[in-house]
Structure 1
Amino acid sequence: MYKHYPSLVLGFHACEREIGEALLSGDGGFKTSTNDYDWLGNGMYFWENSPHRAEKYGEELKNKRKKLDTPFVVGAVIHLGYCFDLLESHSLQVLKNYYLSLKKAYLKSGLEMPINNDVGTNTDKLLRKLDCAVFEYMHSEMNKSKEKPFDSIRAAFWEGEELYPSAGFKEKNHVQICIRNPNCIKGYFRPLEMERDYPIV
């Protein structure tokens, strides 16, 4: 009963400029990612309250992964709705139970479970095929039993190098939002530069 989020959050999405401009103009629609390695399963991804992190990710998609020609960041006003929040203990236990159920199904069928993989020397498990499979299995099982589907998924990730020796923080820590229900997005906007002559409000 506490999974319905009453407030709005701001999310930032990195994409090709043409796609971002289409979203801003209303000509573009909801952009679902369906990669089998997506960290939180299928949906449209946003960095919560972090345009800077979205910008850096866009640069990475251009320079390292060659997936974008002209990186662009679009902001979104999001209502999380019925949210599967992995910063909350009950959701963590639910996800673990679905993992165990999926593992049992794989064992029964004689198949190997997907795994989360590093990319090169990066040890952040950037290719999360296991996590993606667990989330998609969870949604599939909920659909079969006609349970109310989640509108969004929210999770924190500890990513990158230590911020300083023995720190409990890393350079790329972030909260990621995966939107499954397009109606959660109440509008898109172009992020503004801060007016430095005025106080932040």
Structure 2
Amino acid sequence: MYSRKRGLVIGFHGCDQEVRDEIVSQKLKNLKPSENLYDWLGNGIYFWKNNYDRALQYAKEIKKNPQKSTSRIETPSVLGAVIDLGYCMDLLDSNYLELLKIGYKLLTETNKKHGLEIPKNKPIEKNGDLLLRHLDCAVIETVHQFIKENKESNEFDSVRGVFFEGNELYKNAGFKEKNHIQIAIRNPNCIKGYFIPRILNEKYPKT
């Protein structure tokens, strides 16, 4: 009863400036969902929740290392969005974490039955963070597919998760330099509007 998310959130999407401008001017109607097998929240349009700086950092990283993404970025930019999470698989909520356990069980049983290997999460670099989330993506997509086929409940509009990424902020820290909350939008109608983020006016207090 209390797991439904209410209200609007602000999300930021790192992309090329041309894509940003075409979305805002409605030359493009919507962003293309990401469907990589390693996407850590499964298929969807990805946003950093209330984190403009991280979205811009990502866009700059892709320009510098284009092999890390299927997107082409010449001029790193950020697209803002006003989002209603709708029916959200919120991985900050214990109810949905339990659902992932069920999804993992279904995945392992199905793959074993068909003689398929279980996907694994992998780092891009040796001893790095597990950025290639093949297993997590497969588990989440298994949950979505099960719900769709069995109509156990409404299909999820979005998925939200928190990720711990990067170097420790200090020795023995529980915090890392790239910690963030990310959102994957599966239902594009959750996106109520796009905007070009404004630059802060330093003459006035932050609100």
For normalisation by structure 2, the TM-score amounts to 0.93
Give the CA deviation at 1:79. Answer: 0.5
In 1, are the aligned partners of 2:3 and 2:93 still within 8 Å (CA)? no
Does 1:43 find its partner at 2:44?
Answer: yes
Does 1:21 find its partner at 2:26?
Answer: no
Residue pairs, 1:188-199, within 5 angstroms: 188-199=194-205
Matching residue's letter, 1:118? P
In 2, Cα distance between equivalents of 1:102 and 1:173? 28
In 2, Cα distance between equivalents of 1:185 and 1:123? 33
Give the CA deviation at 1:65. Answer: 2.8
Does 1:76 find its partner at 2:86?
Answer: no
In 2, are the aligned partners of 1:3 and 1:82 still within 8 Å (CA)? no
Aligned counterpart for 1:184 among listed residues 156, 180, 190: 190
> Judging changes above 3 Å, is the alpha-carbon distance between structure 1 residues 199 and 80 closer, same or farther for their aligned structure 2 residues?
same
Does 1:108 find its partner at 2:117?
Answer: no
In 2, are the aligned partners of 1:76 and 1:186 still within 8 Å (CA)? yes
Aligned-partner SS, 1:81: coil
In 2, Cα distance between equivalents of 1:101 and 1:125? 22
Aligned-partner SS, 2:86: strand
In 2, are the aligned partners of 1:10 and 1:76 still within 8 Å (CA)? yes
In 1, are the aligned partners of 2:17 and 2:75 still within 8 Å (CA)? yes
**What fraction of aligned residue pairs are identical, expressed as a percent?**
51
Aligned counterpart for 2:103 among listed residues 98, 103, 107: 98
Give the CA deviation at 1:110. Answer: 1.3
Q: Deviations over 1:15-40 (max 9, x none)?
A: 12211111111121232111111111
Moved more, 132-141 or 168-177: 132-141
In 1, Cα distance between equivalents of 2:36 and 2:23? 21
In 1, Cα distance between equivalents of 2:37 and 2:78? 24
Question: Could you say what the CA RMSD is over the residues aligned between the two structures, in angstroms?
Answer: 1.2
Aligned-partner SS, 1:46: strand
For normalisation by structure 1, the TM-score amounts to 0.96
Aligned counterpart for 2:172 among listed residues 166, 169, 180: 166
What is aligned with 2:162?
A: 156
Matching residue's letter, 1:149? E
In 1, Cα distance between equivalents of 2:96 and 2:144? 13
Unmatched segments (≥5 aa) in structure 2: none
Residue pairs, 1:124-135, within 5 angstroms: 124-135=129-140
Matching residue's letter, 1:124? D
